[in-house]
Structure 1
Amino acid sequence: MNTSLTALARPVTAAVRAGYAWSVRREKPEAWLEVARMTGVIMRHLGPGSAPVTPSELVALLHQPLGVWLSGADPVLGELVILDEHDRLTDDTYGIACDYTTEVLAGQEDPGARWLPKWRTHRAEQVEQEAFQRLVSGSDEDYSVGRRFLVEHPAGASDDLLDRQTDLGLRPLVSYEPIPQHRQEAGRWWACPVCHWPMAISPSGHVTCRFRPHRATYTLTDGLRILPADGAPPAPRAQSANGAVCVDESIWRFVVVPGVVEIRLHDRLDRLPGVSAALYPGKDRFDVGVRRAGEDDWLVTLDVKDFSSPAALAAKVTDRPIAAGVLVVPDYRRDQLAQLKRLLPGMDIATESQIYRRTSRLSREEQ
């Protein structure tokens, strides 16, 4: 891994873990020790005179932008605030800090791993491998169908999800748990129109998807209707929380959120005349492959990456080179292109709409 990213990953992960622990300190006695433990991790990183020396000092810093106290943070990371005024994790923590999640206690027992959500203790690759280990032994088609199912059905009525999996010939891939109380109101819950995972409901009546680029922000009315904010997708219908379940946050953030873009791009390309698109070919050797109809050779191969920080994405790809010919970023990350091309010279990088237009031209040329 890139040295600068390695250096930042530990304190950023420690800050997120401490922030989460602080947010649940009233419900979980283990939280106090976790904050103290993560204070120690950050002290070792920042060194004497530059680090918080008590848990209370660390908590105070978590309410400030990371750039104020964490040197070396790029502009995106530097603006991240972990805790809001109500001592809850901010939405940006789900979008930005996940780019840096790593193990902070490697080589020793991690007490936090027993109760912290996995996205705060595991890397994306670890979560992904655990989720799909049952699919790896099957065929390529089984893998593609199973992974797509999980992305498209991260929540719903338990009986309905089980019936859908049975109809597809799938065994249960991951555990679904009852929808948490903070994601329901008066026995109702609302799925994000983009990723279909239960949106969070604040005490002030705001209903939001915690992944900010989905722009799913609503206001809850007294009649249990939700009204969209400017620019939000149309409001989804309320669903009964009775018997409703969802995947945990780690699966949502590391599998569902990026999978939404992967599937969207695949489906757009597969509708082009004269070509066929494959989703997760070779059991995820890359995300999408496109062939000319009736031929075996790939016309184009694509790997979709959705990172809030271009620097973190560049470091990731440098550390783990992609197998695809093109690195694709979501359309809502189009402003990253210039920086990514500077950081990754020689790599073919495009937005999802750019690669759609390019592939459309290629398909016509090949006919």
Structure 2
Amino acid sequence: MTSVRESAQRVALSEAERVRRDQSITACCLAAAAMSDESLSAGRRGKLLMDCLGVLSAARRADEPLSMTDFRQRLSGPLRLLLPGDLAAGHLSDLVLLDESGQLLDETIDVAVEHLVPRAALDEHWSWARVSAEQEERRTYGILRRLPAKEYARVRGLLIKHPSGELTRLRRVWDGLLSQLDLYESVSTRTWCQVRGHWFACPRCRWPMRVSGSGAVRAVRCEAHAREGVIYTCNAERNPERAPKVEPAGSAATPVRATPATADHLALSRTTWRYVTLPGLLEWNLRDHARSLGARVVMWPHKDRYDVKITLNKRSWKVDAKAWASVTKLGDALKDTEPPEPGLIIVIPDHQANGRELLQKMIGRSGYRVLTASGLKAELDAAKAGQR
């Protein structure tokens, strides 16, 4: 339980300071978990510790460097010896992560969980990138769950429809909620999507497309939709006095225009885009298909218990759409859970059709059913036609 003193210090910290502190605490917990596991190979332990030390070093001031030797030694002492000296850690200052025998203390596990680190991340030694993404996803859904049901549905829709945009317009469409939710980041800091200070929104999902290459001609593609043909090229040296232009290089490369990468242009965090916007587009596609058949469709009927309820010809489908990059990782996340609703259908994108059978085997015993988007549409079409 967080103390009153700790809560007061949390409020006093700026957002940037809070992020630095929370990332530092998370890195220390992950490092301690790696140190405590004698079954880990020296190579893997070293890589995990290096990742955690990198996060911690980035958070610490230039005048307080930390070597790997000091890092390993201080993992056995109080947390204040590891955290940035300019950030108050409250009652956590005296927290010791490992006991005298080098084993992870229960309080360390509690602190990690309070910082949105899954217990599995400590047991399985997840990479920093994976833990960070999981924390961001949990934080996002934590924000959404606190909203009233009606507002929840509106916000989910806005995150699907407006994954990027100019600040003034976003403030208008969000109607006071933009700063409260804190889910957007400035595009100006995302050098990976820029050509000469400009960026390009994917015509499918409206999120910044990635720019790759170092020569005059760059590749510009959406990470999620390149497989469907959202691919362009851009000559970075042509007409340097004007905004750069892209040329279609894929079958779905419809015209897009360059947008200045200024501080007034924002885009959702990668995690929110990956786990809210992309499955949301899939949900909307299923909704539109079902409605075209005359079905009754309810979006997010119980907030985040599942995504879509479709009723057609006295049959109903309860759907949870997923847009994970890895079907296997999705299976790992669901295999030890029970469906929040009996007979829940997990729907994956059509391009992951080859993984549908594997995912069904991984989670079928728990009571889930797995379909591709086209598979669900075929069932709806059959129900409309009166077939079983």
Q: What is the TM-score when the length of structure 2 is the normalising length?
A: 0.60
Distance (whole Å) between structure 1 residues aligned to residue 281 and residue 273 of structure 2 = 10
Q: Deviations over 1:244-303 (max 9, x none)?
A: 11122222222222222222222222222x21222211223311111249xxx7622211
Q: In structure 2, what is the equivalent of residue 81 of structure 1? A: none
Q: In structure 2, what is the equivalent of residue 23 of structure 1? A: none
Contact in 1 for aligned 2:34/2:48 (Cα 8 Å): no
Give structure 2 stretches of 5+ with no counterpart.
1-19, 52-107, 117-127, 239-243
What pairs with 1:192-341 in structure 2 (closer than 5 Å)? 192-202=202-212, 204=214, 205-211=218-224, 216-221=230-235, 222-223=237-238, 224-231=244-251, 233-242=253-262, 243-272=264-293, 274-292=294-312, 299-322=316-339, 323=341, 325-341=344-360
Q: In structure 2, what is the equivalent of residue 76 of structure 1? A: none
In structure 2, relative to structure 1, the CA distance for the partners of 1:184 and 1:138 (3 Å cut) is same
Please provide the CA RMSD for this pair. Answer: 3.9
Distance (whole Å) between structure 2 residues aligned to residue 217 and residue 247 of structure 1 = 21
> What secondary structure is seen at the aligned counterpart in 2 of 1:132?
helix
- Shift, 1:156, TM fit: 0.5
Amino acid at match of 1:129: Y
What pairs with 1:95-134 in structure 2 (closer than 5 Å)? 106-108=109-111, 120=132, 122-123=134-135, 126-134=138-146
Task: Point out which structure has higher relative CO (alpha carbons under 8 A, 6+ apart).
Answer: 1
Contact in 1 for aligned 2:133/2:271 (Cα 8 Å): no
In structure 2, relative to structure 1, the CA distance for the partners of 1:278 and 1:185 (3 Å cut) is same
Distance (whole Å) between structure 1 residues aligned to residue 136 and residue 227 of structure 2 = 19
Contact in 2 for aligned 1:39/1:55 (Cα 8 Å): no
What pairs with 1:147-186 in structure 2 (closer than 5 Å)? 147-166=156-175, 171-172=177-178, 174-175=181-182, 176-179=184-187, 180-182=189-191, 183-186=193-196
> What secondary structure is seen at the aligned counterpart in 1 of 2:220?
strand
Q: In structure 1, what is the equivalent of residue 81 of structure 2? A: none
> What secondary structure is seen at the aligned counterpart in 2 of 1:149?
helix
Q: Which has the higher Rg, Structure 1 or Structure 2?
A: 2
Give structure 1 stretches of 5+ with no counterpart.
1-27, 60-104
Distance (whole Å) between structure 1 residues aligned to residue 363 and residue 45 of structure 2 = 38
- Shift, 1:57, TM fit: 10
Distance (whole Å) between structure 2 residues aligned to residue 252 and residue 232 of structure 1 = 20
- Shift, 1:58, TM fit: 6.3
What pairs with 1:27-66 in structure 2 (closer than 5 Å)? 42=34, 47=39, 49-52=41-44, 54=46
Distance (whole Å) between structure 2 residues aligned to residue 44 and residue 37 of structure 1 = 11
> What secondary structure is seen at the aligned counterpart in 2 of 1:161?
helix
In percent, how many aligned pairs have the same letter?
A: 22
- Shift, 1:31, TM fit: 10
Amino acid at match of 2:356: L
Q: In structure 2, what is the equivalent of residue 90 of structure 1? A: none
In structure 2, relative to structure 1, the CA distance for the partners of 1:181 and 1:301 (3 Å cut) is closer
In structure 2, relative to structure 1, the CA distance for the partners of 1:289 and 1:201 (3 Å cut) is same
